[in-house]
Amino acid sequence: MPGMLTRRELLTSSSLAVLASPASRRRASAALPGPPGALPSAPPAPKLVKPPRLKAGGTVGLVLPSFVQWDPVSIDILLDSLQALGLKGKLGKHVFDRRGYFAGRDEDRAADLNAMFADPEVDAIHCIRGGWGAARLLPLLDWDAIARHPKAFIGYSDITALLLALHARTGLVTFHGPLGSSSWNAFNVEWMKRVLWNGEAVTFANRKEADDTLVPVRNRTRTITPGRGRGRLLGGNLTVLTAIIGSGYLPDFRNAVLFLEDVEEAPYSVDRMLTQLKLAGILDGVKGVAWGTCEKCDPGQGFGSLTIPDVLDDHLKPLGVPVFSGAMIGHVDRQFTLPLGVDVEIDAGAGTLTMLEGAVS
Protein backbone atom coordinates (compact mmCIF):
# COMPACT_ATOMS: atom_id res chain seq x y z
CA MET A 1 0.00 0.00 0.00
CA PRO A 2 1.16 3.58 -0.67
CA GLY A 3 3.05 5.08 2.26
CA MET A 4 3.72 1.72 3.94
CA LEU A 5 7.27 0.45 4.46
CA THR A 6 8.36 -2.78 2.91
CA ARG A 7 9.68 -5.61 5.15
CA ARG A 8 13.29 -4.77 4.10
CA GLU A 9 12.77 -1.04 4.76
CA LEU A 10 11.14 -1.75 8.13
CA LEU A 11 14.01 -3.97 9.27
CA THR A 12 16.56 -1.45 8.05
CA SER A 13 14.92 1.51 9.76
CA SER A 14 14.46 -0.47 12.99
CA SER A 15 18.12 -1.44 12.97
CA LEU A 16 19.19 2.15 12.43
CA ALA A 17 16.99 3.29 15.29
CA VAL A 18 18.49 0.71 17.63
CA LEU A 19 22.00 1.81 16.68
CA ALA A 20 21.17 5.48 17.19
CA SER A 21 22.14 5.69 20.88
CA PRO A 22 25.82 5.61 21.91
CA ALA A 23 25.21 2.65 24.26
CA SER A 24 23.63 0.67 21.45
CA ARG A 25 26.47 1.50 19.13
CA ARG A 26 29.00 0.28 21.72
CA ARG A 27 27.10 -2.99 22.22
CA ALA A 28 26.77 -3.55 18.48
CA SER A 29 30.43 -2.75 17.88
CA ALA A 30 31.48 -5.31 20.50
CA ALA A 31 29.33 -7.97 18.82
CA LEU A 32 30.56 -7.34 15.31
CA PRO A 33 32.95 -9.90 13.80
CA GLY A 34 36.57 -9.05 13.09
CA PRO A 35 37.99 -8.23 9.69
CA PRO A 36 37.06 -10.40 6.69
CA GLY A 37 38.61 -13.84 7.01
CA ALA A 38 39.27 -13.52 10.75
CA LEU A 39 39.06 -16.80 12.64
CA PRO A 40 37.23 -17.19 15.95
CA SER A 41 39.62 -17.06 18.88
CA ALA A 42 40.41 -20.33 20.65
CA PRO A 43 38.28 -21.03 23.73
CA PRO A 44 39.98 -20.48 27.08
CA ALA A 45 42.12 -23.51 27.86
CA PRO A 46 40.46 -25.67 30.52
CA LYS A 47 42.49 -27.08 33.37
CA LEU A 48 44.74 -29.97 32.33
CA VAL A 49 43.15 -33.35 33.10
CA LYS A 50 45.31 -36.49 33.18
CA PRO A 51 43.39 -39.73 32.67
CA PRO A 52 43.92 -42.74 34.95
CA ARG A 53 46.77 -44.99 33.86
CA LEU A 54 46.13 -48.34 32.23
CA LYS A 55 46.54 -51.39 34.44
CA ALA A 56 46.57 -55.13 33.90
CA GLY A 57 43.01 -56.43 33.92
CA GLY A 58 41.62 -53.15 32.61
CA THR A 59 39.06 -52.84 29.82
CA VAL A 60 39.75 -50.96 26.59
CA GLY A 61 36.77 -49.69 24.60
CA LEU A 62 37.23 -50.16 20.86
CA VAL A 63 35.55 -47.75 18.46
CA LEU A 64 35.52 -46.83 14.77
CA PRO A 65 34.89 -43.06 14.51
CA SER A 66 35.86 -42.91 10.83
CA PHE A 67 36.19 -45.53 8.08
CA VAL A 68 34.75 -49.01 8.22
CA GLN A 69 37.09 -51.88 9.12
CA TRP A 70 36.07 -54.40 6.48
CA ASP A 71 38.32 -57.29 7.55
CA PRO A 72 37.04 -58.99 10.75
CA VAL A 73 40.37 -60.81 11.16
CA SER A 74 42.00 -57.48 12.09
CA ILE A 75 39.48 -57.13 14.93
CA ASP A 76 40.37 -60.65 16.12
CA ILE A 77 44.08 -59.74 16.09
CA LEU A 78 43.36 -56.59 18.10
CA LEU A 79 41.37 -58.46 20.74
CA ASP A 80 44.07 -61.14 20.99
CA SER A 81 46.78 -58.48 21.29
CA LEU A 82 44.98 -56.78 24.16
CA GLN A 83 44.54 -60.13 25.86
CA ALA A 84 48.27 -60.79 25.49
CA LEU A 85 48.85 -57.52 27.37
CA GLY A 86 46.53 -58.61 30.16
CA LEU A 87 43.73 -56.31 29.00
CA LYS A 88 40.15 -56.90 27.91
CA GLY A 89 38.67 -55.40 24.75
CA LYS A 90 35.08 -54.18 24.55
CA LEU A 91 33.72 -53.51 21.07
CA GLY A 92 31.44 -50.56 20.41
CA LYS A 93 27.86 -51.45 19.55
CA HIS A 94 28.23 -50.17 15.98
CA VAL A 95 31.75 -51.40 15.17
CA PHE A 96 30.45 -53.72 12.45
CA ASP A 97 28.05 -51.17 10.92
CA ARG A 98 28.68 -49.73 7.48
CA ARG A 99 27.45 -46.72 5.54
CA GLY A 100 29.52 -46.36 2.39
CA TYR A 101 33.09 -45.85 3.54
CA PHE A 102 32.00 -44.96 7.09
CA ALA A 103 31.65 -47.40 9.99
CA GLY A 104 27.93 -46.60 10.21
CA ARG A 105 25.96 -43.37 10.50
CA ASP A 106 27.48 -40.32 12.14
CA GLU A 107 24.94 -40.54 14.96
CA ASP A 108 25.82 -44.16 15.68
CA ARG A 109 29.59 -43.66 15.59
CA ALA A 110 29.19 -40.72 17.96
CA ALA A 111 26.91 -42.80 20.19
CA ASP A 112 29.66 -45.43 20.52
CA LEU A 113 32.13 -42.76 21.64
CA ASN A 114 29.70 -41.24 24.13
CA ALA A 115 28.84 -44.68 25.49
CA MET A 116 32.49 -45.66 25.99
CA PHE A 117 33.24 -42.51 27.96
CA ALA A 118 30.14 -43.01 30.10
CA ASP A 119 30.69 -46.76 30.68
CA PRO A 120 32.18 -47.27 34.18
CA GLU A 121 33.67 -50.61 33.07
CA VAL A 122 35.79 -48.99 30.34
CA ASP A 123 39.21 -47.71 31.45
CA ALA A 124 40.57 -46.42 28.12
CA ILE A 125 39.35 -45.94 24.55
CA HIS A 126 41.32 -47.05 21.50
CA CYS A 127 40.33 -46.17 17.93
CA ILE A 128 40.59 -49.14 15.59
CA ARG A 129 41.42 -47.18 12.44
CA GLY A 130 41.31 -43.74 10.83
CA GLY A 131 40.41 -42.72 7.28
CA TRP A 132 37.93 -39.84 7.28
CA GLY A 133 34.83 -38.94 9.28
CA ALA A 134 35.90 -38.22 12.87
CA ALA A 135 35.39 -34.47 12.44
CA ARG A 136 31.76 -35.09 11.47
CA LEU A 137 31.15 -36.39 15.01
CA LEU A 138 32.31 -33.30 16.90
CA PRO A 139 28.88 -31.58 17.12
CA LEU A 140 27.33 -34.88 18.28
CA LEU A 141 29.54 -35.58 21.29
CA ASP A 142 28.38 -35.14 24.89
CA TRP A 143 31.21 -32.88 26.04
CA ASP A 144 29.90 -32.49 29.61
CA ALA A 145 29.70 -36.25 30.09
CA ILE A 146 33.15 -36.74 28.59
CA ALA A 147 34.57 -34.14 30.99
CA ARG A 148 33.03 -36.03 33.92
CA HIS A 149 34.61 -39.35 32.86
CA PRO A 150 38.19 -38.69 31.73
CA LYS A 151 39.83 -41.69 30.06
CA ALA A 152 42.93 -42.32 27.96
CA PHE A 153 41.96 -41.85 24.30
CA ILE A 154 44.35 -43.23 21.67
CA GLY A 155 44.70 -42.99 17.89
CA TYR A 156 46.22 -40.95 15.07
CA SER A 157 45.67 -39.90 11.45
CA ASP A 158 41.98 -38.91 11.06
CA ILE A 159 41.61 -39.34 14.83
CA THR A 160 43.59 -36.07 15.12
CA ALA A 161 40.26 -34.22 15.02
CA LEU A 162 39.13 -35.99 18.18
CA LEU A 163 42.50 -35.80 19.94
CA LEU A 164 42.61 -32.02 19.55
CA ALA A 165 38.92 -31.39 20.21
CA LEU A 166 38.83 -33.51 23.36
CA HIS A 167 41.81 -31.61 24.74
CA ALA A 168 40.45 -28.21 23.69
CA ARG A 169 36.98 -28.76 25.14
CA THR A 170 37.76 -30.73 28.33
CA GLY A 171 41.48 -30.32 29.06
CA LEU A 172 41.93 -34.09 28.71
CA VAL A 173 45.40 -35.35 27.83
CA THR A 174 44.92 -37.47 24.70
CA PHE A 175 47.39 -39.79 23.00
CA HIS A 176 48.65 -39.69 19.43
CA GLY A 177 49.75 -43.28 19.01
CA PRO A 178 49.19 -46.50 17.07
CA LEU A 179 45.66 -47.40 16.04
CA GLY A 180 44.13 -50.68 17.11
CA SER A 181 44.71 -52.02 13.60
CA SER A 182 48.36 -50.87 13.61
CA SER A 183 51.21 -53.28 14.18
CA TRP A 184 51.48 -54.45 17.79
CA ASN A 185 55.25 -54.74 17.51
CA ALA A 186 57.68 -54.49 20.44
CA PHE A 187 58.53 -50.84 19.71
CA ASN A 188 54.90 -49.66 19.74
CA VAL A 189 54.03 -51.70 22.82
CA GLU A 190 57.08 -50.43 24.70
CA TRP A 191 56.25 -46.75 24.21
CA MET A 192 52.56 -47.26 24.93
CA LYS A 193 53.38 -49.05 28.17
CA ARG A 194 55.94 -46.48 29.29
CA VAL A 195 53.57 -43.56 28.71
CA LEU A 196 50.13 -45.04 29.48
CA TRP A 197 50.93 -47.76 32.02
CA ASN A 198 54.04 -46.63 33.86
CA GLY A 199 53.36 -42.89 33.70
CA GLU A 200 56.98 -42.14 32.81
CA ALA A 201 58.17 -38.72 31.69
CA VAL A 202 60.06 -40.16 28.73
CA THR A 203 62.39 -38.75 26.12
CA PHE A 204 61.16 -39.60 22.62
CA ALA A 205 64.31 -40.34 20.62
CA ASN A 206 64.42 -42.26 17.36
CA ARG A 207 65.92 -45.71 17.55
CA LYS A 208 68.74 -45.62 15.00
CA GLU A 209 69.92 -48.96 13.70
CA ALA A 210 73.07 -49.45 11.64
CA ASP A 211 72.10 -52.90 10.33
CA ASP A 212 74.92 -53.86 7.93
CA THR A 213 75.70 -50.28 6.88
CA LEU A 214 78.57 -48.13 8.06
CA VAL A 215 76.24 -45.63 9.71
CA PRO A 216 72.54 -45.69 10.67
CA VAL A 217 70.32 -45.15 7.63
CA ARG A 218 66.79 -45.66 8.96
CA ASN A 219 64.97 -43.37 11.40
CA ARG A 220 67.37 -40.46 10.98
CA THR A 221 66.42 -36.97 12.12
CA ARG A 222 67.50 -33.73 10.45
CA THR A 223 67.96 -30.45 12.30
CA ILE A 224 66.29 -27.57 10.48
CA THR A 225 66.82 -24.94 13.17
CA PRO A 226 68.94 -25.89 16.21
CA GLY A 227 68.03 -25.04 19.77
CA ARG A 228 65.75 -25.98 22.63
CA GLY A 229 62.28 -24.83 23.58
CA ARG A 230 59.52 -25.73 26.01
CA GLY A 231 55.76 -25.77 25.62
CA ARG A 232 52.57 -27.76 25.62
CA LEU A 233 52.73 -30.63 23.10
CA LEU A 234 50.04 -30.29 20.41
CA GLY A 235 49.62 -31.50 16.85
CA GLY A 236 48.78 -34.49 14.71
CA ASN A 237 47.96 -35.10 11.08
CA LEU A 238 48.50 -31.95 9.02
CA THR A 239 45.59 -32.55 6.63
CA VAL A 240 43.08 -33.16 9.43
CA LEU A 241 44.31 -30.25 11.53
CA THR A 242 43.94 -27.79 8.65
CA ALA A 243 40.48 -29.17 7.84
CA ILE A 244 39.07 -28.03 11.21
CA ILE A 245 40.69 -24.60 11.43
CA GLY A 246 38.00 -22.06 12.34
CA SER A 247 35.66 -24.69 13.76
CA GLY A 248 36.05 -23.85 17.43
CA TYR A 249 37.35 -27.36 18.18
CA LEU A 250 41.05 -26.50 18.19
CA PRO A 251 43.12 -25.56 21.26
CA ASP A 252 45.22 -22.43 21.51
CA PHE A 253 48.59 -23.16 19.88
CA ARG A 254 50.41 -20.21 21.42
CA ASN A 255 53.48 -21.37 23.37
CA ALA A 256 53.01 -24.93 22.09
CA VAL A 257 55.54 -27.41 20.79
CA LEU A 258 53.89 -28.46 17.54
CA PHE A 259 54.27 -31.87 15.92
CA LEU A 260 52.99 -32.74 12.45
CA GLU A 261 52.85 -35.74 10.12
CA ASP A 262 51.10 -36.78 6.92
CA VAL A 263 50.93 -39.43 4.21
CA GLU A 264 50.52 -39.55 0.42
CA GLU A 265 50.54 -35.78 -0.04
CA ALA A 266 52.41 -34.04 -2.86
CA PRO A 267 54.85 -31.32 -1.75
CA TYR A 268 52.59 -28.60 -3.17
CA SER A 269 49.76 -29.88 -0.96
CA VAL A 270 51.95 -29.81 2.16
CA ASP A 271 53.06 -26.31 1.09
CA ARG A 272 49.42 -25.20 0.83
CA MET A 273 48.52 -26.61 4.25
CA LEU A 274 51.52 -25.08 6.02
CA THR A 275 50.60 -21.78 4.37
CA GLN A 276 47.12 -22.17 5.83
CA LEU A 277 48.57 -22.76 9.31
CA LYS A 278 50.65 -19.62 8.90
CA LEU A 279 47.75 -17.47 7.68
CA ALA A 280 45.55 -18.78 10.50
CA GLY A 281 48.13 -17.73 13.08
CA ILE A 282 48.80 -21.27 14.31
CA LEU A 283 52.52 -21.10 13.54
CA ASP A 284 52.85 -17.75 15.30
CA GLY A 285 54.06 -18.12 18.84
CA VAL A 286 54.94 -21.83 18.81
CA LYS A 287 58.05 -22.74 20.81
CA GLY A 288 59.25 -25.47 18.45
CA VAL A 289 58.18 -27.86 15.70
CA ALA A 290 58.81 -31.58 15.30
CA TRP A 291 58.03 -32.86 11.82
CA GLY A 292 57.44 -36.60 11.80
CA THR A 293 57.15 -38.65 8.65
CA CYS A 294 55.43 -37.98 5.35
CA GLU A 295 55.22 -41.38 3.72
CA LYS A 296 54.81 -41.38 -0.08
CA CYS A 297 55.25 -37.61 -0.31
CA ASP A 298 57.97 -37.66 -2.95
CA PRO A 299 58.24 -34.84 -5.53
CA GLY A 300 57.37 -37.18 -8.38
CA GLN A 301 59.06 -38.30 -11.55
CA GLY A 302 61.28 -35.73 -13.18
CA PHE A 303 61.90 -33.86 -9.91
CA GLY A 304 60.07 -30.82 -11.24
CA SER A 305 58.61 -29.64 -7.92
CA LEU A 306 59.76 -28.45 -4.56
CA THR A 307 60.59 -31.26 -2.15
CA ILE A 308 59.27 -31.74 1.38
CA PRO A 309 62.62 -30.51 2.81
CA ASP A 310 62.29 -27.40 0.61
CA VAL A 311 58.78 -26.75 1.88
CA LEU A 312 59.77 -27.25 5.53
CA ASP A 313 62.67 -24.84 5.11
CA ASP A 314 60.35 -22.26 3.53
CA HIS A 315 57.75 -22.35 6.29
CA LEU A 316 59.49 -23.50 9.47
CA LYS A 317 62.97 -21.98 9.30
CA PRO A 318 61.69 -18.38 9.41
CA LEU A 319 59.86 -19.08 12.70
CA GLY A 320 63.16 -18.75 14.56
CA VAL A 321 62.35 -21.63 16.93
CA PRO A 322 63.85 -25.12 17.24
CA VAL A 323 62.73 -27.36 14.37
CA PHE A 324 63.69 -30.88 13.32
CA SER A 325 62.28 -33.50 10.99
CA GLY A 326 62.19 -37.28 10.85
CA ALA A 327 60.66 -38.10 14.26
CA MET A 328 59.04 -41.53 14.45
CA ILE A 329 55.56 -40.05 14.29
CA GLY A 330 52.96 -40.87 11.66
CA HIS A 331 52.03 -43.50 9.12
CA VAL A 332 54.90 -45.85 9.90
CA ASP A 333 55.03 -49.32 11.47
CA ARG A 334 56.88 -48.12 14.55
CA GLN A 335 55.80 -44.90 16.21
CA PHE A 336 55.77 -43.10 19.54
CA THR A 337 52.75 -42.62 21.79
CA LEU A 338 52.69 -38.83 22.26
CA PRO A 339 50.58 -37.14 24.99
CA LEU A 340 48.77 -34.04 23.75
CA GLY A 341 48.60 -31.28 26.35
CA VAL A 342 51.64 -32.25 28.43
CA ASP A 343 54.61 -29.88 28.74
CA VAL A 344 57.68 -31.04 26.80
CA GLU A 345 61.12 -29.81 25.83
CA ILE A 346 62.19 -30.01 22.20
CA ASP A 347 65.89 -30.35 21.39
CA ALA A 348 66.18 -29.87 17.63
CA GLY A 349 69.91 -30.60 17.59
CA ALA A 350 69.41 -34.00 19.21
CA GLY A 351 66.09 -34.65 17.48
CA THR A 352 64.24 -35.35 20.73
CA LEU A 353 61.07 -34.48 22.64
CA THR A 354 61.28 -34.84 26.42
CA MET A 355 58.18 -34.94 28.60
CA LEU A 356 58.50 -32.67 31.64
CA GLU A 357 55.77 -34.53 33.52
CA GLY A 358 53.87 -37.81 33.40
CA ALA A 359 50.73 -37.96 31.25
CA VAL A 360 48.51 -40.18 33.44
CA SER A 361 47.33 -40.04 37.02
Q: How many domains does the chain have?
A: 2
Asked whether residue 178 falls in the same domain as residue 296, the answer is: no
> Is residue 194 one of the residues assigned to a domain?
no
> Is residue 96 one of the residues assigned to a domain?
yes
Asked whether residue 165 falls in the same domain as residue 93, the answer is: yes
Asked whether residue 123 falls in the same domain as residue 258, the answer is: no
**Residue range(s) defining the domain that contains residue 238:** 203-355
> Is residue 253 one of the residues assigned to a domain?
yes
Asked whether residue 237 falls in the same domain as residue 337, the answer is: yes
Q: Which residue, of 138, 153, 184, is where some domain finishes?
A: 184
> Is residue 26 one of the residues assigned to a domain?
no
Asked whether residue 208 falls in the same domain as residue 244, the answer is: yes
pLDDT of residue 346: 98
Asked whether residue 246 falls in the same domain as residue 350, the answer is: yes
Gap between the Cα atoms of 230 and 322, Å rounded:
10
Per-residue pLDDT of the chain (361 residues; tens, 9 = 90+): 344 333 333 333 333 333 334 343 333 333 333 333 334 445 577 899 999 999 999 999 999 999 999 889 999 999 999 999 999 999 999 999 999 999 999 999 999 999 999 999 999 999 999 999 999 999 999 999 999 999 999 999 999 999 999 999 999 999 999 999 999 999 999 999 999 999 999 999 999 877 778 888 889 999 999 999 999 999 999 999 999 999 999 999 999 999 999 999 999 999 999 999 999 999 999 999 999 999 999 988 766 789 999 999 999 999 999 999 999 999 999 999 999 999 999 999 999 999 999 999 9
Asked whether residue 281 falls in the same domain as residue 236, the answer is: yes
Asked whether residue 116 falls in the same domain as residue 223, the answer is: no
Gap between the Cα atoms of 15 and 2, Å rounded:
22
Asked whether residue 139 falls in the same domain as residue 207, the answer is: no
Active site residues: 157, 261, 331
Asked whether residue 244 falls in the same domain as residue 293, the answer is: yes
Domain harbouring 310, CATH code? 3.50.30.60
Asked whether residue 167 falls in the same domain as residue 274, the answer is: no
Q: Which residue, of 133, 150, 184, is where some domain finishes?
A: 184
> Is residue 120 one of the residues assigned to a domain?
yes
Gap between the Cα atoms of 338 and 325, Å rounded:
16
> Is residue 63 one of the residues assigned to a domain?
yes
